[in-house]
Amino acid sequence: MTEFQFLQDGLKDQQPYMQMVQSIMEVRARGPQPLAFVHTYGCQQNVSDGEKIKGMLQQMGYSFTDRQEDADLILFNTCAVREHAEDRVFGNVGALKNIKRRHPSMLIALCGCMMEQEHVAEKIRKSFPFVNLVFGTHSLHRFPQLLYEALFSGKRVIERGVDDHTVVEGIPVRRDGDIKAWLPIMYGCDNFCSYCVVPHVRGRERSRKTEAVLQEARQIISSGYKDITLLGQNVNSYGKNLEHPVSFAQLLSQIDRIPGEYWLRFMTSHPKDATKEMIDVMAQGEHICHHLHLPFQSGSNRVLKAMNRKYTREKYLEMIAYAKSKMPDLSLTSDVIVGFPGETYEEFQETLSLIREVEFTSLFTFIFSPRVGTPAAKMDDPVPYKEKTVWFSELLKVQEEIAAKRCASLVGQTHTVLVEEESGHPGELSGRTQGNMIVEFPGDPSLIGSFAQVKITKARNWILKGELAALVD
């Protein structure tokens, strides 16, 4: 078994660099305080990493701006999951050339999943000479040192792929909001689905120690956050690398026992590891939302095998049936890929029939995107992209009908809603149900951040309209 290293106070050796960055920026900042523009692309794991980057920057004396033009540091935290995401990053980096010309002291940094790929680092080296700092996901906790080196030397600094066997604790987090909080419980992935770049760029699967997760959960709850999402590429294999292995269901149950007024959810669980024990904990929990995001990717057993998903359509449907039997109000969401190499139209129809059978609340839908270094990128892919877009539209239409039907079935019911923000329509608020459905209703902004009982009066596509029935004590 691989040995993992736990760094309890992971930023200890970074403290001197943090102070030196602060001293340099006191002199070099264009305004009274150094300003950073930080933009994160991609999944929630990346958003969570972005919050750590902002936490470290804050400790180094930086404030934040939404205007690139005003920034002393522009940092893009990138995503490599699909080509489209990569193209957007390259386009946005290219556009920084002119800003950098106007403000030569500005530092431009790129980090995240894309930077762990050799061909990307090479392209940046050759085509984007104005980028000062490049670091990958494994170097996150060394960011202060790397930033210091880039500022001090004036030369470009590139660091990738150093270590994927370490769990680093103690990185400060500057959360993006004050209602919802991301809580990573594990990093990396060992599943190697044949289409996916994540195991190649985020390294081996490694869990945080249970006590570290519980401590952060307690701190999040006592700070007043109301909606906590446990994060991991495959939360169901949580705990396997720990000295005293703990199952995900056990962890979920331990967090659920922390007193307070909050909701608890998690993503993503992998169907091959989803257990009845986990479903039972969900059904019995006090705080756990009856919302399960369980990506099925394809409804065809042949395609699932080629994807290296390690479960069958039947196994998936069996788990869904069990979950529905334990939680009749369960809201199901999922990820699905259209046009995997070699997928036939008949096999795609099996995906549609699974969607019809499960009746998901919503779906994250993707057209297959070949990723360098993955087995699927080398597979024969005879169906033209244009044809895949036609299948994709067919899928969206099926899902839209299901979502509209599900929404309509809620009219007349009263649901607990976590009020998140003003909806954009005068006098109206917007919030979400346990099942992650958006509900809009007239109300006073003082309700933002609290739980309310809302009677659903109308369904408009996937948005529900309602009226306040009561507040939740």
| Interface pick for ligand SAM out of 190, 335, 394, 422 (rule CB under 6 A) | 335
Site membership for ligand SF4, residue 196 (CB under 6 A): yes
DSSP letter, residue 378: G
Tell me the three state secondary structure of residue 63. strand
266 interacts with, out of ligand SAM, ligand SF4, none, CB within 5 to 8 A per kind: none
Burial track 66-78 (b if 16+ CB lie within 10 A, e otherwise): eebeebbbbbbbb
199 interacts with, out of ligand SAM, ligand SF4, none, CB within 5 to 8 A per kind: ligand SF4
Site for ligand SF4 in 223-252 (CB under 6 A): 233-234
82 interacts with, out of ligand SAM, ligand SF4, none, CB within 5 to 8 A per kind: ligand SAM
Task: Give the Cα separation of 290 and 283 in Å (integer).
Answer: 7
User: 439 forms bridges with which residues in the sheet?
Assistant: 431, 464
Task: Give the Cα separation of 213 and 184 in Å (integer).
Answer: 8
- 35 versus 267: smaller Cβ distance to ligand SF4: 267
* Beta carbons within 8 Å of 330's beta carbon, 6+ residues apart: 290, 291, 292, 323, 324, 435
- 265 versus 406: smaller Cβ distance to ligand SF4: 265
CB of 373 to ligand SAM, least distance (A): 11
| Interface pick for ligand SF4 out of 184, 199, 431, 443 (rule CB under 6 A) | 199
Residues 96, 68: contact at Cβ < 8 Å? yes
CB of 57 to ligand SAM, least distance (A): 25
Task: Fill in the per-residue mask, 351 to 370: x = in contact with ligand SAM (CB under 6 A), - = not in contact.
Answer: ---------------x-xx-
Binding footprint of ligand SAM, residue count (CB under 6 A): 18
User: 298 forms bridges with which residues in the sheet?
Assistant: none
Site for ligand SF4 in 262-281 (CB under 6 A): 270
Residues 96, 108: contact at Cβ < 8 Å? yes
Site membership for ligand SAM, residue 308 (CB under 6 A): no
Task: Give the Cα separation of 299 and 303 in Å (integer).
Answer: 8
52 interacts with, out of ligand SAM, ligand SF4, none, CB within 5 to 8 A per kind: none
Apex 362 CA angle, 309 and 461, nearest 5: 160
Apex 77 CA angle, 116 and 68, nearest 5: 140
The stretch among 29-37, 83-91, 188-196, 326-334 that binds ligand SF4 (CB under 6 A) is 188-196
Alpha-carbon distance values, 353 to 292, 317, 349, 364, 458 (Å): 20, 12, 6, 17, 28
User: Tokens 């309700």 label which residue?
Assistant: 447
Phi, psi (deg, nearest 5) at residue 47: -60, -40
Tell me the three state secondary structure of residue 395. helix
Binding footprint of ligand SF4, residue count (CB under 6 A): 10
| Interface pick for ligand SAM out of 371, 388, 406, 432 (rule CB under 6 A) | 371
CB of 295 to ligand SAM, least distance (A): 3
CB of 189 to ligand SF4, least distance (A): 3
- 136 versus 443: smaller Cβ distance to ligand SAM: 136
Q: Summarize as ranges the residues that interact with ligand SF4 (CB under 6 A).
A: 189, 191-193, 196, 198-199, 233-234, 270
